[in-house]
Structure 1
Amino acid sequence: MSISELQMGLVGAGGVVVVGIFAFNKWQERKHRKAADALAKVGVQEPLAGEPAAGGERVEPVIGAEAPPRPTPTDQQLRDASARRVPPLLPPEVDERADWVVRIESIESVVAGQFYHAAAQHLDGLGKPVRWFGFSDTENRWEPLNPHGAARYHWLCAALQLVDRRGAATEGDLAHLAAGLQRVCDAFMAIPSPPARAEAQARGAELDRLCAGVDIQIGVNVLARDQAFSGAKLSGLLHTAGLELQGDGCFHSRDDKGLTEFVLSNLEPVLFSAEGMRGLTTQGITLTLDVPRVADGVQVFERMMALAQRIAEALGGVVVDDNRAPFGDKAVGLIRSQIEQFQGQMAEQGIPAGSPLALRLFS
């Protein structure tokens, strides 16, 4: 081998060593960066308005502004975080079938009221209701967030309702919540963990189809025959029967828990009011049973029919259906069987009629 070949060989070997050292350094750099990112995921919350920062300077959170760089958690903060209890995945009040739940974690506790109102600013216009919960470290349980409360939480969650009577949540609804939460969490130095949106949207669409198949209301009319009904007499009958006039202009029959069983409204386009009942006359009234929102629907229907018959007898009217055909035993029996059928389907789907979940879905 010539001297030139030897020199070229040494140069090549040196190049391999240099490349190896460079690659090793890059691997070490990537390893350390990954470790730092893992620590940053449990980053320190920005001090709230009015609270001093760790260095003594007051730092005000600015909603909507670009988040400052996350400081690396101290050893003490990491020890405190590891000592805290990890909460159950979901609060008992939420249901994975009906809610899209985003958990939020912060090393430093956040004030419930401040977080709630900051979130409200960024979630304005959201098409579906959102419920908020915080995990109490002392009580070891999730609890509803008090919008005006001073309680502090390291863990929070937002539960977006996927379905109501307006339909299923859209991709836009989920994206709106995710983006708004990210901006709020950046301001408070917290970390949201939103689940997959596509799966939640598909789940909501399926649940909406199930709800649409059992969403029925039963209406019964009582029409005046020879003389219009007197508002004063009607009001007296309804108060005796235990119905109460509410702000929606209807009389409500309520169960022992205060939940509406059925409502009685004016057949004419005039709302009932306490001050107007004395001078009011009407050609008829309508009683309505919202089947998915009422437990023991058949019994409630029978009580509603009994009241309709009492009103007809007392005021000189007749009980008819939506087609103004008199109710007979056959029609009453058919309605009973329909109520049993639809409420049975709801029970099979794990959404009993009149349950808290049913009241949310059919609202």
Structure 2
Amino acid sequence: MSGFTLGLILIGALVLAALVAYNAWTSRRNTPRRPLASAAAPDPAEAARQEPTLDAGRQEPAFDAAPPPLPVPERRPGLDALIDVLAPIALEAPASGEAALAALPPTRRAGTKPFAVEGLNEGTQQWETPRPGQRYGGFQAGVQLANRVGALNEIEYSEFVMKAQAFADAVNGTPDFPEMLDEVARARELDQFASAHDAQLSFTLRARNAAWSPGYVQQHASRLGFVAGALPGRMVLPASTAGAPPLLGLSFDSQAAMADDPEQSALRQVTLSLDVPQVERGEQPFARMREAATALATGMDGVVTDDNGQPIQPEALDVIGRDLEQLYDTLEARDLGAGSPLARRLFS
């Protein structure tokens, strides 16, 4: 065999070896990473029982922090003139809770705005949602001035009047409605304020190399305190108060989560989100969002980017943090502090 022929054989062998190595590398890169068998991601039932373990007062994720004490359920807010149209209803005689409940309309909305009726409890002298076995010396009907759908309009106000009047007639009461044009103008002003101060932040975490399986994402997120959400492909970081909205959301492709074999599904990005007006300032949600993004990026070999796919630098996050502090101050000055019952209603 000549040297030339031997050289060709060696070159061919090297090319073949390179192709095999490249194909193996490509296959490995495209195979989604799976959770470790010794620490598999919890199923939804197990995840729902977990407590968050991120410590808001620390700069590093506290993976092994002890679960917090069981929180006291939060009292639901009532009607408030700050964000509701209120129509007092004077009664000819006190009415029972049973009569009030029977008189309520079948739907609790006027158009796209929440509608409610409260009674003045004769025993406690507190406004409350009518209850059986109680007696009420008066009522008030209310409709919300604005929400994320927009401001209360004339048609919705008219529907509110019809529902409140029907309730008043059923309990032998006389309503006193405020002037429609004044309330609609107030609704527009509140809606303008809310629209200018409604912040919903999101980071996108993208895979640098190998894709992730849903279980792999769930495994890493659960270490930070995230639990299964109500929808496929969504996890949440619960608040420290029972009944409060979650601090953060983590979402990925719902089709991948519902696949026959989710571990064969390849995810190349997940989204971390914060609904600023819904979460109390004291929970330090943005700091915890940064911690979670950093921990997930490090653990899953990813990079944190904006909506355009550009990496987010720490300096940019510092600017966002300062802007959020100003936003919190503005909301509190309007008596609509982030995470407060009124803010949750307005920004919903």
- TM-score (norm. length: structure 1): 0.68
Greater RCO (CA < 8 Å, at least 6 residues apart): 2
What are the residue-to-residue correspondences of 1:163-202 with 2, within 5 Å?
Answer: 163-202=146-185
User: Which structure has the greater CA radius of gyration?
Assistant: 1
Change (3 A) 1:294 1:122: closer
**How has the CA–CA distance of structure 1 residues 172 and 336 changed in structure 2, closer, same or farther, with 3 Å as cutoff?**
same
Partner in structure 2 of residue 16 of structure 1? none
| Partner-residue secondary structure (3-state), 2:137 | strand
Mapping of 1:1-363 within 5 angstroms? 93-121=78-106, 126-146=111-131, 149-249=132-232, 250-258=234-242, 259=244, 260-266=246-252, 268=253, 270=255, 272=257, 280-296=265-281, 299-363=284-348
Q: Which runs of 4+ in 1 moved over 6 A?
A: 273-276
Q: For 2:113 and 2:190, locate their aligned partners in 1 and report how far apart those are by CA, in whole Å.
A: 15
Listed one character per residue, the Cα deviations across residues 94-124 of structure 1 (whole Å, up to 9, x for unaligned) are: 3222111112222333333443343314866
CA deviation after TM superposition for structure 1 residue 190, in Å: 1.8
Equivalent pair of 1:123/1:176 in contact (CA under 8 Å)? no
Distance 1:302 1:275, change over 3 A: farther
Q: Residue 336 and residue 135 in structure 1: after superposition, are their counterparts in 2 closer, same or farther (change >3 A)?
A: same
**2:235 corresponds to which letter in structure 1?**
F
Unaligned runs of 5+ in 2: 1-76
Q: Give the CA deviation at 1:161.
A: 0.8
Task: After superposition, give the CA deviation of every residue in 1:336-361 in whole Å (9 maximum; x if it has no partner).
Answer: 12212222221222211111111110
The answer to whether the 8 A contact 1:245-1:274 is kept is no
Distance 1:216 1:346 in 2: 11
1:207 is displaced (CA, Å) by 0.8
Q: Distance in 2 between matches of 1:144 and 1:123?
A: 12
Contact in 2 for aligned 1:128/1:162 (Cα 8 Å): yes
CA displacement, residues 154-201 of structure 1 (integer Å, 9 cap, x when unaligned):
311112111100111111111111122223322332211222222211
Q: Cα RMSD (Å) of the superposition?
A: 2.6
The answer for unaligned runs of 5 or more in structure 1 is 1-91
The structure-2 alpha-carbon separation of the partners of 1:272 and 1:216, relative to structure 1 and needing over 3 Å to count, comes to farther
Structure 1 residue 323: Cα displacement: 1.2
CA–CA separation in structure 2 for the residues paired with 1:125 and 1:346: 26
1:292-351 C-alpha deviation (Å, 9 max, x unpaired) = 222228932121122122222222211111111111122111211221222222122221
Identity of aligned residues (%): 28
**In the comparison of the two structures, how many residue pairs are matched?**
270
